[in-house]
Structure 1
Amino acid sequence: MATSPDPEQPSARLGRLARGLKLGANSLLVTLYGDVVAPRPQAVWLGSLIRLAAPFGINDRLVRTATFRLTADDWLSATRIGRRSYYGLSEAGLQRVLHAGKRIYAGEAQEWDGRWTMVMVRGDVRATVRQKLKRELLWEGFGAIAPGVMAHPNADLGSLREIIGAARAQEYVAVMEASSLEAFPIQPLQALMHQTFKLGDVADAWQALLKRFSPLAQEAAQLPPADAYFVRTLLVHEYRRVLLRDPNLPEALLPQDWPGRTAREMCSAMYGSLLAASEDYLQRTVEVAEGKLADAGKVLRRRFAHG
C-alpha cells in the first residue's frame, strides 16, 4: 500500500532542486537567520532548527555542531529555558545579516554618480584586525584593488562606519572618495573591475542559478507550504551565495548582457510568489522562546520592493 506524502516535507520532485549543491549546515543556518529570523529578532528552539534543516539533508548532529560554531563565532547567542536551548542572533550577527540583507533584498540600484568609496588600511594594523576588516568589507561588496586598498562604487556609508567600528579599526583606516577623470577613457577601469571582481566567474554563477530556478517561476505561487518554504530557502541561499560575490557594479561598468539583471528580476518575482505559503509553513513549524513566531509580513513584503 502506497504511503501518502508528508504535507510537512517538500515533494520528491522539488527535493531534486538541491541536487548538486553543497549545502553546509553553517551557511544554511546563516541563510535561515538572515531570511526568517532577522525581521523578527527572536530566539529559535534548537528542535525547530533541526526540523527546518532536515529537508536539505542536514541531520540533527550537524545542526547542533553548526549552532555551537556560530555561537562561538559570535553569530548566535544561546538561551536556556528549562531543558531546551534557543538560539537568537547576537548583536554582531544581527549587524552582519542586516548589512547583507540591504544587498540581498534591495530593489533597483540607484543611479551612479561616478564616485568610488576607497578604504585604505595602514600596514601596521594587527593581522587579526586586518583579516576581520577585509572579510566584512568583502561581504559588503568591496573589491581589493591593491594590498590594503579596497573600493566600492555604491557603498553604504552607515554600514561602512559600523564595520570599521566593530573591527576597532578607526585609527588604522582612511576613507576617501575618488572619481574618474573625463580626459581619460573608461575602458581600463572596466577591465580592472572585471579582473578585480572576477566578473566572468560571477556571470557563470548567475547563469547556473537561472538554469536551476527559472523552470519553477510560473508555478511558485501555487506551491503548498512545505514546498514553498523549501524553494524560498534554497532560492535565497543560492542567490545570497552569488550576490555576495557580485559587487553590484553600476550599469556603466557592466557588460550589456549581464545575467545578474535577469537573475535579480526572477528572484524578486519568485520570492513574492512564495512568501505567503512559506510563512504559513514557518508559523506552524517554528517554536521560539516567546512561544510563537512573530508576524513579519510588512517587513517581508517590502523586500525586493514588493511592498
Structure 2
Amino acid sequence: MISLEKQILYMIQHRHVITAAELIEIYKDRGKTEQTIRNALSSLKQKGYILAEERRYTLTESGTAFIQSLQLKISGSNSEWDGRWHVVMFRIPEQFRSLRNTFRRELVQIGYGLLYDGVFICPYNRCASVMQVARLTGLEKWIRMGSLDLEHGPVTADLAEQIWPVQAVNEKYGLFSAWASAQIDKWSAAAANPAAEPSPWNVLLLVLELGERFGEILLEDPFLPEQLLPKPWQKEQAWELYNQHLNQLVPLLRSESHLFSLIVPID
C-alpha cells in the first residue's frame, strides 16, 4: 500500500492542521493500530516534515517540499524529453548504511533508476528533489550530480526494463483498471437506489482505498519518456478510471466539510 507516512502528509497538506486523534479514528477502520499511527507521526517529526504543537500537526517547509518532489515526478513527465540523462553518484560509508538505504529508496520514488552500484539516472532533471532528500538524511557531502549525453551505450527500452520495474508497473496499472472498472459499474448500479447510499464516513474510507491502490503504483512508476516504455502502456486508462471513480465518490462528501477537507485542499 501507499506509504502511510506519505498519505498522512497529504492529509495534513489538505487540512493544514490535523490531530493525532483524528488520524487514529480514520485509520482504525483501515486496519491500522493507534501505535502504528503514532509511530508514523514520530517518524515524520524526526525527518523534519511536520511540527507538533498541543497534539496538532502541521507541515514544515521540508514536508511541503517533499510532497512537491513527488508531484514534480508526475507533472514533469509531460515535458518532452531532450535525450539527456541526469545522474546521481555517491559512495557513502558503511557506517551510514541505514541512511544510505533511505536515500536510495527515496531516489527510486523520485524516479531515478540504478544503472551501476552507486550510480542512479533519470531522464528528467529532479536535482532539487534529490538535494532535498540528501540534506534531510545528512548525506549531501557524499552526493555528486550532473547531466550528460550518452555517446556510447544508449539506454534503450530493453535496458530500461532492467533498470526500472516498468513491466511490473504496467501489470499493476492493468490490474487497477480492472478493479476500478468493476467499482465504477457497482456504483453506477447503486446510484439507481438512493436508499442504499453509504454514509459519508464509509465514502471517505472508499476514497482512501482508491488512493492507496492507485498511489502505490504512482510511487513505483518512474514516469519515463514514451520511447522507453513497453507497449501498450496502461497508465492512461488507469488514470481515466481513477478519476472517473473518484468523481463518483467525492460529491457524496461535499455535505461533510470536515471529511471533505481531508481529500481536497482548503483554500
Q: Normalised by the shorter chain, which TM-score bucket?
A: 0.7 to 0.9
Mapped contact 1:229–1:279 kept (Cα < 8 A): no
- TM-score, structure 2 normalization: 0.78
Query: Which deviations, in whole Å up to 9, do the C-alpha atoms of 1:20-69 show, x marking residues without a partner?
Result: xx68xxx33531431x2214432x12221122113313343443444344
User: Is the 1:119–1:175 Cα contact (8 Å) retained in structure 2?
Assistant: yes
Q: How does 1:119-268 map to 2 (within 5 A)?
A: 119-122=88-91, 127-128=96-97, 129-181=99-151, 189-217=156-184, 219=187, 225-268=200-243
The residue aligned with 2:6 is 30
State which of 43, 48, 60 in structure 1 corresponds to 2:34: 60
Structure having the larger proportion of residues in helix? 2
CA RMSD of aligned residues (A): 3.4
Contact 1:28/1:237, CA 8 A, preserved across alignment: no
Post-superposition Cα deviations, 1:133-173, rounded to whole Å, max 9, x if no partner, equal 32321221111111110011123343234333434444322
Structure 2: how far apart are the matches of 1:166 and 1:32?
19
What is the deviation of 1:234? 1.4
Conserved? CA contact 1:48–1:285, under 8 Å: no
Equivalent in 267, 272, 277 of residue 252 of structure 2? 277
Structure 1 residues 234 and 174, CA, compared in 2 at 3 Å: closer, same or farther?
Answer: same
Contact 2:49 2:62 in 1 (8 A): yes
Higher mean C-alpha deviation, range 265-274 or range 146-155: 265-274
Q: 2:25 is matched with which residue: 51, 55, 65?
A: 51
Q: How many aligned positions are there?
A: 258
CA distance in 2, matches of 1:161, 1:151: 14
The one-letter code of the counterpart of 1:99 is S
Question: What secondary structure does 1:136 align onto?
Answer: helix
CA distance in 1, matches of 2:76, 2:206: 21
Unaligned runs of 5+ in 1: 1-21, 287-291, 299-307
Q: How many percent identity over aligned positions? A: 22
Tell me the distance in 2 between the aligned counterparts of 1:103 and 1:273: 27
2:87/2:121 contact within 8 Å kept:
yes
Distance 2:243 2:130 in 1: 26
Give, in whole Å, the separation in 2 of the partners of 1:102 and 1:272.
23
What SS is found at the alignment partner of 1:256? coil
Aligned to 2:86: 117
C-alpha spacing 1:112/1:278, structure 2 compared with 1 (3 Å): farther
Q: Which amino acid aligns with 1:96?
A: F
Q: Secondary structure at the match of 1:77?
A: strand
Cα deviations across residues 169-224 of structure 1 (Å, max 9, x unaligned)? 4432222222355xx796x6212210111222222222222222222236489675
Alpha carbons 1:209, 1:263 under 8 Å: kept: yes
Q: Distance in 2 between matches of 1:178 and 1:94?
A: 30
